[in-house]
Each structure stands twice: as structure tokens, then as C-alpha cells.
Chain A
Amino acid sequence: MNKLVLILTCSAVTLLPRIIPYFASSFLKKLPVFIRKCMLLLPVASLGALIFPLALTDFGPLWIAGLAGVGTAFLTSFFKGPMILAIVIALASTTGMLIAIG
């Protein structure tokens, strides 16, 4: 796949949903409540599928290293740790696990 085409396509589908409403905001208020609710819940609903199963299968037989990373990141944020701390702890856990069992 041509990376430039990929980058610019993603740019378009990111920026258009942000820019168009500034020029057409009255239309959106007319959408049914259920549709508006779905759009607000999409990000949360996506998170499960974004993590599983790829976070595990990306590491093949060492899948437990992936599980260690997502588990520690989840817990760090659940207990109010900032995102960067969650990412650093996850990276350390996964690296440690890869060294221990790899």
C-alpha cells in the first residue's frame, strides 16, 4: 500500500468530521437521540476490539507478554495514573516478560 495515500486518506476522514460541523451545525441537532448516543459511545465500544485479540497474537507464543502490558496499563489508569505512566509501565512489563520467557 502506498503510505502517502494511506496518510492523506486518514487525514481526510479525520479532519472532515471535525471541520464540516462548523459549517453545518444545525443539521446535527435534528438526528435521532439513539444515533447521537451511538456516536458518543463508539470510542468506548471500539476499545475492546482494538485490544483483543491482536495485543496477544502480535506476540505469537509469547502472548502472555502482551497480556502483561495491557493489564498493567489498564490498572494504572483505573487507579488514576496518567496515560504516559501507563504506557511506560506497560512497555517495561512487556519487555521484562519477553526477556524472562523469550
Chain B
Amino acid sequence: MGNAGKEIKDGIRDGFPIFLGYFTTALAFGLLTRTSGFSFVEGVLVSITNFAGSGQFLMMNLYNAGTFLLGIALSVFFINSRYIFMAASLSGRLKNPRSILGRLMCGFGTTDEVFAVASFKGIKLPYTYMAGLIFTSYSGWVSGTAVGYIAGTFLPDVVQKAAVITVYAMFASLLGGEVRKNAKALLTAGVSALINSVLILAIGVSTGLSFLISLIAATIFGAMIYTDKEAGIE
């Protein structure tokens, strides 16, 4: 086997833990698309064309709340803006930075987990390695969505009714992990929770607008209380 084959295999091996994590998380996403009234094709198409955990859950969340397209697009863009820095960082680690096709593939596959694994690889990254890593992760995400959607058929009504909690559980789980690393995360998220609740429940602002206002206010608050190092600035 040549060098390229070995690098692809290396990528697949590193991608396998991501495959498992994505597959199981995507099960919940597939179930959510079903309970939100998406067809099987539409549900799976979301995962095929987006390949983003929090962005997709956010999209469904706002869609179910009746938010306008522009509100959903802006919110999804904001939550994805962190990728700008992950992608910029990874682009500096590529072995052959000029290949257009290779860069498109890496851009498509720059998820939080792929970024983390590739960043800690400690070598100049060949596209063959990145291809193995990205397509292993991607197949877990897409197949998990499909299986989750189909599995929904066999779940009793009360579980399907409760399934809306999976999206909030994912967010709460992410928050739990962040708070364990730094208690300031709880304060920062607390600000957006408070503002959002007041705007929606007491003042009656629409969910999309309220989310944007809360997000921006809490982000500025967070940027003031986190040190540069805690925030991940190199």
C-alpha cells in the first residue's frame, strides 16, 4: 500500500470515535426532524447539506418556534461564525495549501470535532488524511440522521412528544461541559437565558429577534469577563 493509502487509513482510524459520537447525536436529530413534520428525504437532506450539530439543532428549534427565514439564517450564521477561526487555523496546517478541491473539502468538513482532532495531529496535514477523517465523520452524521428518523416510527406517542427535549438536552449537555471547564460559562449563558426569557415572556418580542439580542448581549458580556487565554486566543 502506498503513502496515500496509509494516510487515508490513518484518517479513518482517527475519525472512528467521531463517527460514533456523530451517529448517536444524529439519531436524536433524525427523530427531531420527524417530530417537526419533515419528510425522511428532507430530514436527511439537512444533514447532507449542512453537516453541523449545533447549527442544525438551532435551525429546527427556530423553525418550530415559527421564526422567519432571515431570523433563522442570521442566527445560524452567528452560531457558526466560530468556524471562521477554526478554518483559518487549519488552513495554515495543510501540507499542500494550493489545491482548490482539497480546500473545498476541508472547508466542508471543518466541524468542531474534526478541527480538534486535526489540530492535535501535530503534522502537516495531507488531503488524503483529511479525506479519511472527514468522510468517516460525515458518514456517521448522515447515517445517524436516517436511522433516527426511521426509528421514530417504532417509538410510542409519549416518547415522541418528549423527544423535543433532545435538542435542549444537547444544549444543556454542551453547557455542562463548558461550565466544568470554566464557571464563567454559566454566568455568560445565564445572561442570555435571562434576557431571552424576559424579552419573550414579559415583553412579547418574537423568538428570532429575542434570540439575536440575547446572543449579542451575552457575547459582549462574556468577552468582558473572560481573559484572552480562557477564550482561546493564541
Interface residues of A (CB under 8 A from B): 1, 3-11, 13-15, 17-23, 25, 28-29, 33-34, 36-55, 57-59, 65-66, 69-80, 82-84, 86-87, 90-91, 94-95, 98-99, 102
7 contacts across the A-B interface (CB closer than 8 A):
A8-B49, A42-B82, A50-B211, A52-B196, A73-B169, A90-B165, A95-B162
Known contacts A39-B81, A49-B214, A98-B158; A44 and B188 CB within 8 A of each other: yes
The distance in angstroms between the C-alpha atoms of A25 and B110, with both chains bound, is 14
A-B pair count, CB < 8 Å, reads 300
**Chain B residues in 8 Å Cβ range of A59:** 164
Question: What per-residue 1/0 map shows which CB atoms of B181-210 lie under 8 Å from chain A?
Answer: 000010011111111110011000001001
Please give, as numbers and ranges, the residues of chain B lying within 8 Å of A46 by CB-CB distance: 58, 78-79, 192, 211, 215, 218-219
Are A25 and B69 in contact (CB-based, < 8 A)? no
A13 and B107 in contact, given A42-B82, A54-B168 (Cβ under 8 angstroms): no
B interface residues, tally (CB under 8 Å): 96
- Residues on B with C-beta less than 8 A from A54 are 61, 65, 168, 200, 207
**Interface SS majority for chain B:** helix
**CB of B150 within 8 A of chain A?**
no
Tell me the minimal C-beta distance from B207 to chain A in angstroms: 7
Given contacts A14-B52, A37-B231, A70-B165, contact A1 B192 (CB under 8 A): no
| Given contacts A9-B69, A95-B162, A39 and B194 within 8 Å (CB-CB) | no
What are the 8 tightest A-B residue pairs by CB atom distance, in nearest-first order? A19-B107, A77-B176, A48-B193, A90-B169, A48-B189, A69-B165, A45-B218, A73-B169
Q: How far is the CA of A99 from the CA of B161 in the complex (A)?
A: 11
Residues of B close to A74: CB separation below 8 A = 172-173, 175-176, 179
> Which stretch from B6-14, B21-29, B116-124, B135-143 is at the chain A interface?
B21-29
Q: Do A75 and B176 touch across chains, with their CB atoms under 8 A apart?
A: yes
Is the beta-carbon distance between B232 and A11 smaller than 8 angstroms?
A: no
Within the complex, the shortest CB–CB distance from A97 to chain B, in Å, comes to 8
Q: In the bound complex, do residue B168 and residue A55 qualify as a contact, i.e. CB atoms below 8 Å apart?
A: yes
- CB pair B108 A19 closer than 8 Å: yes
B residues adjacent to A (C-beta < 8 A): 21, 24-25, 28, 38, 42, 45-46, 49-52, 54-56, 58-59, 61, 63, 65, 68-69, 72-73, 76-88, 90-92, 103-104, 106-108, 110, 158-159, 161-166, 168-180, 185, 188-197, 200-201, 207, 210-211, 214-215, 218-223, 226, 228, 231-233
- On whether A58 and B38 interact (CB within 8 A), knowing A45-B191, A47-B189, the answer reads no
Contact A78 B176 (CB under 8 A): yes
User: Are B80 and A17 within 8 A (Cβ)?
Assistant: yes
Complex contact A87–B28 (CB within 8 A): yes
A77 contacts B173, C-beta separation under 8 Å: yes
Which of A5, A14, A83 is most buried by chain B, counting CB atoms within 10 A of its CB? A14
Give B221's nearest chain A residue, CB to CB: A45
The smallest C-beta distance from B140 to any residue of chain A, in angstroms, reads 12
Shortest CB–CB separation between residue B119 and chain A, in angstroms? 14
**How far is the CB of B35 from the nearest CB of chain A, in Å?**
11
- Interchain nearest-CB distance for A96 vs B (Å): 9
